[in-house]
Amino acid sequence: MATTSWNPWTELEAFTRELHRAFDRPTSRAVSNGNGHQELWKPSMDVSETDATYIIEADAPGLTIQDITVRLEGSTLIIAGERQSAAPPQAAGYTHTERAFGKFQRTFSLPKAVNMEEIQAAYSNGVLTVTVPKASAAQTRRIHVQAA
């Protein structure tokens, strides 16, 4: 019976080839949104807080104001929209595309202590900024400590 010596580097090279081959295959760009639905893309968002407001910023280049919807349902802020495809990839001679398009929706649960009537949204240079003012009772205030 012939014996064969095992070379771990050969196994690693085979694994690397298979991994490269797997990533070279065309795959769907759809990602799960956590609700069992598939989305083709969703804008990156940052949430920050100041003493008086919560600020949500969303990168949404290529969208127009008509493509974006901001609404409030109870204490849930919903930002939704759709980026239209410029042309089907097979049209116009495309051989490779990476820009994602499609519908998106992001939801944010707001604390009860916000001023719902004063929420504002602005879109400029591809960035959507939603400003949610805190209710006066929820705003941080400094209390001066006096010597006794």
Model pTM above 0.85: no
At 6, list the tokens: 């095992």
Q: What is the pLDDT of residue 33?
A: 46
In 3-state terms, what secondary structure has residue 64? coil
- pLDDT tens for each residue of 9-33: 877 888 887 777 777 654 444 544 4
Domain 41-133, CATH: 2.60.40.790
d(CA 70, CA 1): 73
- pLDDT tens for each residue of 75-123: 899 999 998 876 665 666 777 777 778 899 999 998 878 888 999 999 9
Q: How confident is the model at residue 3 (pLDDT cuts 50, 70, 90)?
A: low
d(CA 29, CA 38): 9
By the 8 A CB rule, do 79 and 56 touch?
yes
Say what percent of the chain tops pLDDT 70: 78
d(CA 43, CA 99): 12
d(CA 53, CA 32): 30
By the 8 A CB rule, do 81 and 67 touch?
yes
CA separation (Å) from 102 to 34, 56, 82, 137? Answer: 17, 21, 5, 40
d(CA 26, CA 32): 18
Contacts of 75 (CB under 8 A, 6+ apart): 109, 110, 111, 112, 114, 116
Mean pLDDT over all residues of the chain? 80
